[in-house]
Structure 1
Amino acid sequence: MKLFLSPNSLKLNLNPNAKLLVAVSGGVDSMVLCDLLVKSKIDFAIAHCNFQLRGKDSDEDENFVVNYCEENQIEFFSKKFEVKNHKNSGNFSTQMAARELRYTWFEEIMKEQNFDYLVTAHHLNDALETFLINLSRGTGIKGLTGIQENAQILRPLLPFSKAEILNYADENQLKWREDSSNASTDYVRNKIRHKIFPELKEIHPEFLNNFSQSIQFLKEENQLISNHLEEIKSRIFEEEKESIQISIDKIKKLNPIETYLHHLFSEFGFKSTNEILKILQSENGEIRSKTHRLIRNRNEIILTKIKLEKFEQEIELNEFEILEKPLYLRFLKSEERNLKADETLDYDKIKFPLRLRKMKIGDIFYPFGMKGSKKLSKYFKDEKYSKIEKENAWLLVDDDDRIVYVVGKRIDDRFKITKHTHKYLNIFL
């Protein structure tokens, strides 16, 4: 059923206490959005970006939005950006540089001021332009669904055309600022707007409405794909405490494998299916995205987050200390064994102070219950430690750097209690 643009058509369905931040340029789209929100008696704040790309006109846009906020008693945020400098700092177009700057700033405001949602004035014509841009670059079904909404970004004008927005503005005698750069065809989006869209509309007058229906169909089909992928993940992704283990045999049975690899791992930042395939086909190896690691480990691959929190290589401890990070560790010296302790050592055999550290090349360990020593690397291999488990293993060593305890796993036989033990070091995890 066709919606008509009015305050009742916003369909936001928000908690009455939700805090909204509305991105407002001063153009007709954002001013119509503001008018609809005001008439709907929805409280919101406004954020305006001054990109300083049009000299005096950019400042007048900002002044226009400031005056609107003062007249309507709306909280206001604004910022001037050096778009040209940011563009030159990377491989950006002017529009992409401006987009990155504004969304980074919006995110900062939302965190600092505890806003629940960012609201933008994107509409159906914008969605068509995005669709054609993505199509021209090569994209999958998600890219063909146009401009996306998510948990924190609301776009209530997406069902409506530019013509409907202009008609609403005229009927309600709204004021807005015209951006002269919108008439230029220097940008790809503007070329689509001024040259391609009129041709499409001439071919079929109902092109935009039909496109809207097609977008809805694509979104529903994309949801079907998402449901299928979640079912696949439930079968082949085995969640451990700090990682996900994935059977290589199960992955290799997926067809078409490259498409599955893209959908299964792109959300973790892995964009190259060729790199993932190399991991599947090798005996070992690792690749990284900005946020995650993918590691070959025998007959599986391990997916784990890259840890940003770093600790000192070695942490010196005393016998009375309670350690909270990077793991909980508590010591209790006693004249008798505490049966509630996770491990108990012979106090007199240890040279204090104790230290907590990671594995080093050449480490030797005397596993409790076994005769003789083992290289720690061999012990880990025998115990089938994955690369992640080796990296996460903490060692308790004494002042002579002798391994006292592979924390949470096994004590060193040299420090076990015997019938001759008189002082006990009880360890609680």
Structure 2
Amino acid sequence: MNVEKKFLQAINDFNLISENEKILIAYSTGVDSSVLTYLLLKFKNYLKIKEIALAYLNHKLRKEAEEEEIFTKEVAEKFGIKAFTKQVNIKEIAKKEKKSVEQVGREERYKFFNEILKKEDFDKIATGHHLSDLAETMTLWFIQGNKKGIKGFKPKEKNIIRPLYYLTKEEIYNYAKEKQIEYKEDITNYSVDFKRNKVRHEIIPKLKEINPSFENSALIMSYFFNLDEDYFNKKIENFDLLVDFIELNQIKEKAILYRLIDKWIYEKIGCKLSYKTLKSIIDLVETGGTKKVKICNNYYLIKEYDRLYLNLEKSDKTTYFEYTVKPNEKIYLKEMDKILEIFKLSNPNLEDLKNEKEMVCFDIDSKDIEFKIRQRKKGDRFKPFGSSWKKLKDVMIDLKIPADMRDNIPLLTFKDKILWIIGYKRSDLYPINENSKNVICFKLKEV
């Protein structure tokens, strides 16, 4: 199959261009984008394209960029199409935003393209990415241990299309020579100081000695990798990413779990995990007891019982807190971000109160009633219903309260005895019954 047939085949297979669309070419003056421009113009009427234009961003990184910008305008004039150009000082932006030059270059380039799309009402951005680029990308990410990158890029992603998807670099060069297509060669493409160029000029040729059809093999593998990725992404797309923890007993498949953790952490704290860290998290999940792994931005991911949750590392220990409250008062508990209301109740329904976690009541006959709400202290003991006194720590373990949260759980006390682990468990002290006349209740309410 020749170059033109492969070009049209890719457009047809992936529905890259629809009738009457306006196509903006991400033009670099190199052989790839120059051949892409030639092919789109040649088949403009056949594909029923409404308009084609060039967009060139001068990064001001190379002295040749000025010549390339002029060349872009000359090509556009030659074919009677529009050319959009812009100059951006990438180095200055990278320094200011503390990003790599490569990252800023990509961001500014596509920002420029999308500005044109919006302002000039173009439909799609066509790039010169081809089959050899795909094989290089997959190989590069494989070497660096990045599973996400191994699947390569797709022929169509949102408004970006890649009509040269089936063509190798060699085919593109030969076609440019045959059709006498003018282009500018970027000499930095031959410097093996860059990782991608090292893969392109040294590693890929060695791989092709073993498998001459390496690029086509990469194309097929990319198809299946993307197929798998799309399937698993759909499995987690309905998960509520605003939750404070992940229930491990609800997710059995590791393939879904690690993707979910990755997405959840990114949404919660903006941290993108490496695959090495993700592997550490899966190992952590499979161990017993309380475990934690540091991820980024001073955050730890903690596994306790069947839950995973995030915790920010703090330099200081939790400040001890203690409040005094009386009946018919309200108090804001900042540790829980809730309001605690204290009131007397004349006719309590014992059945309704049995499983109530947000409200508890006590039968306390005392003239001057005063309660304290405080943090736990060393030596604290708690008396559950139907049981003898137990260490508070043991009760909290039974309740599966994570260790690093226990100092922040408010305790309701009376005469220094714990009546209620607020929001968790009531003690059997001062129980109420059908004959109780001095019932005092405590109810948690949302702010």
TM-score range, shorter chain: 0.5 to 0.7
- The equivalent residue for 2:410 is 395
Q: 1:288 corresponds to which residue?
A: 294
Q: Does 1:377 align with 2:393?
A: yes
TM-score (norm 1): 0.57
CA contact (8 A) 2:25 2:55 kept: yes
Q: Quick check: 1:343–1:428 contact (8 Å CA) kept in 2?
A: no
Larger radius of gyration: 2
In 2, the alpha carbon distance for the partners of 1:163 and 1:304 equals: 51
Q: Is the 8 A contact 1:270 1:288 kept in 2?
A: no
Identify unmatched segments of 5+ residues in structure 2.
Answer: 237-242, 264-272
Corresponding residue SS for 2:64: helix
Q: Name the CA distance, whole Å, in 1 between partners of 2:15 and 2:300.
A: 38
CA distance in 2, matches of 1:413, 1:32: 82
Question: Do the aligned residues in 1 keep the contact of 2:26 with 2:126 (CA within 8 Å)?
Answer: yes
Distance 2:157 2:407 in 1: 33
1:243: which partner in 2? 246
| Structure 2 residue 64 is matched with structure 1 residue 57 | yes
Q: TM-score, normalised by structure 2?
A: 0.55
Structure 1 residue 385, shift from structure 2 partner: 3.9
In structure 1, the partner of 2:267 is: none
Residue in 1 aligned with 2:240?
Answer: none
CA distance in 2, matches of 1:108, 1:400: 66
Residue 425 of structure 2 corresponds to which residue in structure 1?
410
Matches within 5 A, 1:242-281: 242-245=245-248, 269-271=274-276, 273=279, 280=286
Shift in CA distance, 64/9, structure 1 to aligned 2, threshold 3 Å: farther
Counterpart amino acid of 1:420? K
- C-alpha displacement at 1:377, in angstroms? 1.8
**Structure 1, gaps ≥5 residues long:** 91-96, 234-239
Which deviations, in whole Å up to 9, do the C-alpha atoms of 1:148-196 show, x marking residues without a partner?
6897695624333335556787899987654232244443533554567
Q: How many residues align?
A: 390
Within 5 Å, give how 1:196-345 maps onto structure 2.
207=212, 210-219=213-222, 222=225, 242-245=245-248, 269-271=274-276, 273=279, 280=286, 284-290=290-296, 295=302, 297=304, 302-305=307-310, 319=329, 331=341, 333=343, 336=346, 342-345=358-361
Structure 2 counterpart of 1:101: 104
Helix, strand or coil at the partner of 1:53: coil
Q: Which residue of 1 aligns with 2:90?
A: 81
Distance in 2 (alpha carbons) for counterparts of 1:176 and 1:286: 55
Contact in 2 for aligned 1:280/1:296 (Cα 8 Å): no
1:48-73: per-residue Cα shift (whole Å, max 9, x none)? 472x432x333555677799999977
Within the candidate set 103, 121, 124, 2:131 is matched to: 124
In structure 2, distance between residues paired with 1:140 and 1:218? 15
CA RMSD of aligned residues (A): 6.6
The aligned residue for residue 420 of structure 1 is 437
Shift of 1:271: 0.7
Task: For residues 279-309 of structure 1, give each alpha carbon's deviation from its aligned partner in whole angstroms, at most 9, with x where no partner exists.
Answer: 85676532233398555556x6x5445679x
C-alpha deviation, 1:360, in angstroms: 5.0
Equivalent residues of 2:117, 2:124 under 8 A apart: no
Percent identical across equivalent pairs?
21
Give me the whole-angstrom Cα distance separating, in 2, the residues matched to 1:45 and 1:421: 83
- For 1:82, what is the secondary structure of its paired residue? helix
Residue 381 of structure 1, CA deviation: 1.6
CA shift for structure 1 position 214: 1.0
Displacement of 1:368 = 5.9
Paired with 2:416 and 2:87, the residues of 1 have a C-alpha distance of: 58
Counterpart-to-counterpart distance in 2, 1:316 and 1:21: 66
The CA deviation at 1:126 is 1.4
Kindly provide the amino acid, as one letter, of the partner of residue 32 in structure 2. Answer: D
> Does 1:158 pair with 2:165?
yes
Alpha-carbon distance change, 333 to 174 in structure 1, aligned in 2, over 3 angstroms: farther
- In 2, the alpha carbon distance for the partners of 1:24 and 1:41 equals 19
Q: Deviations over 1:289-343 (max 9, x none)?
A: 3398555556x6x5445679xxx97799995578999656574756656878841
Which piece of structure 1 moves more, 375-384 or 289-298?
A: 289-298
Find the residue that maps to 2:196 and give its secondary structure: helix
When residues 13 and 426 of structure 1 are mapped into structure 2, their CA distance, relative to the original with a 3 A threshold, is farther
Deviates more, 1:156-165 or 1:412-421: 412-421
* Rounded Cα–Cα distance in structure 2 between residues aligned with 1:200 and 1:369: 71
Deviations 1:214-272 (Å, cap 9, x if unpaired)?
Answer: 12432355468779999x99xxxxxx97214269xx99xx9xxxx99999988864516
1:190 aligns with 2:170: no
Greater CA drift, 371-380 or 396-405: 396-405
Judged with a 3 Å threshold, the aligned counterparts in structure 2 of structure 1 residues 332 and 142 are, in CA distance, closer, same or farther, namely closer
Specify the SS of the correspondent of 2:293: strand
Structure-1 separation of matches of 2:415 and 2:113: 52
Instruction: Decide whether aligned partners of structure 1 residues 274 and 366 sit closer, same or farther in structure 2, where only a CA change above 3 A counts.
Output: closer
One-letter code of the match for 1:53? L
